[in-house]
Chain A
Amino acid sequence: MMKRYKDLVPWIIYFLVFGGMLFVRGGGHYVHLAMQIIILGLFATSFNVLFGKTGLLSFGQALFYGLGAYITGMAAKSFGPDYFMWALLAVPLVAIVVSILLGALSLRLSDVYFTMLTLAFAQLAWGITIKWYGLTRGDDGIQAIPKPALLTGNVNYYLFSFLVVTACIYFLWRLDRSPFGSVLEGIRQNSLRVTFTGMSVFRHQLLAYVISSSFTAIAGGLYAGIDGSIHPDMFYWTMSGSIILMTILGGMSGFFGPIIGVTIFVLLEDMVGRSTEYWSFVIGIIMLIMVMIFPHGIIGIATYFGKFFARKGGQVDNP
């Protein structure tokens, strides 16, 4: 019974924080920030299915983020606001097809080779988006993407994104605790043993890749609706890099770590990033500190202090 409540705590905090955003006074700016947080939160949580869970460092998940955004953006721009929703539904389907293809190619490689191949695919997608002006309007990006009337306005769109993201995150949370999640953890720790308990490492990795990429694409699709403006840089490798950083910042070993990381990162960027030109210097230093001293992120720090105080209180860690 105790365990059940423990599972609920992060969800209660989740609903309090992101639901509460709707009631912040004069919160236009904060609702806008909250939209970014929740959408990037979905991106980071999906990314962590690969990284924290399965042990696969993809440096190219921006490809799916951009893909989702461009499908949604181009469809709504060319066919009208009603197609915004249809495009959003088509996004995961297209992402499934693309990720099966790219996943099957890149998962044949391991470690650094996998990381670099995913990076190469994403950079290729970025290059194509920049150069194929006729289709994507190149470096200009796509502006003024129309949305259906119901989704217009910050509050309405936030509510919509919140519902979609929450459904997706719930699905990923179930996956995290599922037997399949157990296999992914096994692959991260000892893929050889997974093979010799009768499971194909490649196929499980591929499914993880497809799921991760599809949810990333949904996040990208939602992003196209925030300001109605998208740019090829959504495909760029620094986008993938930032998501990795946010994931590490929050903690890759806990399910909610990436969302915590995104929240802190976006708020920091809002406060610090606007007052300095040297924002990447700041995030470089944060990344350096996290990797060197706190590889388990904020969740890791919290658990450490949690255990520390539990011990002081005379409690025992292991039942």
Chain B
Amino acid sequence: MTTLEIKNLSKHFGGLHVSNDISMSIKKGEIAAIIGPNGAGKTTLFNQITGYISPDNGKIFYKGEEITGSNPEKLVKTGIVRAFQVASLFYDETVYNNLHLAALSYHGKNWNFFSNRHASRDIEDHCRFILERLGLSKKAEVKAFELSHGDQKVLDIAIALTMKPTLLLLDEPTAGMSPDERVKMTRLIKAIHEEFELTTLFVEHDMDMVFGIADIIRVLVRGELIAEGNAADIQNNPAVIEAYLGYEVL
């Protein structure tokens, strides 16, 4: 079954084609990776899938239904949830409260303006569960801005998970991390992918991680998909070596 299908997606800013006739599909339960040099249009692709910007041309289908041009907030409610390249948190709040706000939204309590925000046991259990699974329980009362960089990225993903996604999009989950943290993050992504029965699409520069966990890898260069396949295919693809790997080595 196909979770996400993109057909002939195009977007340009001025004369710059950031997405050029991109087509791809992601099967249910897959871990799919997108790699490509900086400025290849990876984040812009994410922004279009999540409804943050609309494509100029082309269509996006989610579980067989067209979602092109939907609001991001509606897409989140249908299960398309993203995490960010730079952890996007409520920095003055505690770790717990960061999840709490997401949980309020998930349980549809966000319009309630008269009851105590901490009254609901369901919401509390929901947050505690996510905290525990992502190993943040001990830091529940720490303010988000006091966390280490690695923990901030984990919290960013935790907020996304609180929304119980079907399709989780991760924008460079290991960006700016130490080698140790990268290994942990890779394990974490694999673990939550299985436990929460997700379909995961991620953008990444860390090749060890990409080749380690992705079922399918796509290469995006200057807005165009130039290759698609498993780790071996990509590593041996001459076009990729020329356009991408060569670029990185330089």
Contact = CB atoms under 8 A, between A and B. Distances in A.
Interface residues on B, range: 35 or more
A189 B144 CA distance: 12
A180 B89 contact: no
Contacts of B111: 179-180, 207
Interface of A: 171, 174-175, 177-183, 185-186, 189-190, 192-200, 204, 207, 211, 318-319
Given A180-B112, A182-B104, A319-B141, A196 B81 contact: yes
Given A198-B163, A200-B71, A179 B76 contact: no
A199 B105 contact: yes
Counting chain A CB atoms within 10 Å of each CB, the highest count among B73, B91, B106, B116 belongs to B73
Interface in B110-156: 110-117, 141
A198 B105 contact: yes
Contacts of A196: 50, 72-73, 76, 81-82, 88, 160
A175 B110 CA distance: 11
Given A179-B117, A182-B104, A318 B141 contact: yes
Given A179-B109, A182-B100, A196-B50, 4 more contacts: A177-B117, A179-B104, A180-B113, A186-B90
Contact of B106 (A174, A185, A198): A198
Interface string B63-76: 00000000111101
Contact of A193 (B89, B110, B114): B89
9 contacts: A171-B114, A189-B90, A195-B72, A195-B76, A197-B159, A197-B163, A207-B111, A207-B113, A319-B141
A204 B114 contact: no
B92 interface: yes
A190 B89 contact: yes
Contact of A179 (B50, B52, B115, B163): B115
Contact of B114 (A178, A185, A318): A178
Contact of B88 (A178, A190, A199): A190
B110 A180 contact: yes
A118 B72 CA distance: 27
B141 A198 contact: no
A193 B88 contact: yes
A197 B116 contact: no
Contacts of A211: 113
Contacts of A198: 73-74, 76-77, 105-106, 163
Contacts of A194: 101
A175 B113 contact: yes
A204 B113 CA distance: 11
B101 A182 contact: yes
B31 interface: no
B111 to A, nearest CB: 6
B93 interface: yes
Interface string B93-104: 100010011101
B110 A179 contact: yes
A184 to B, nearest CB: 9
Given A196-B88, A318-B141, A204 B110 contact: yes
Q: 8 closest A-B pairs (Cβ-Cβ)?
A: A198-B76, A180-B113, A197-B102, A179-B109, A193-B88, A189-B90, A179-B117, A175-B113
B73 A178 contact: no
A182 B97 CA distance: 9
Nearest to B90: A189
Contacts of B160: 196
Contact of B91 (A180, A189, A192, A197): A189
A178 B90 contact: no
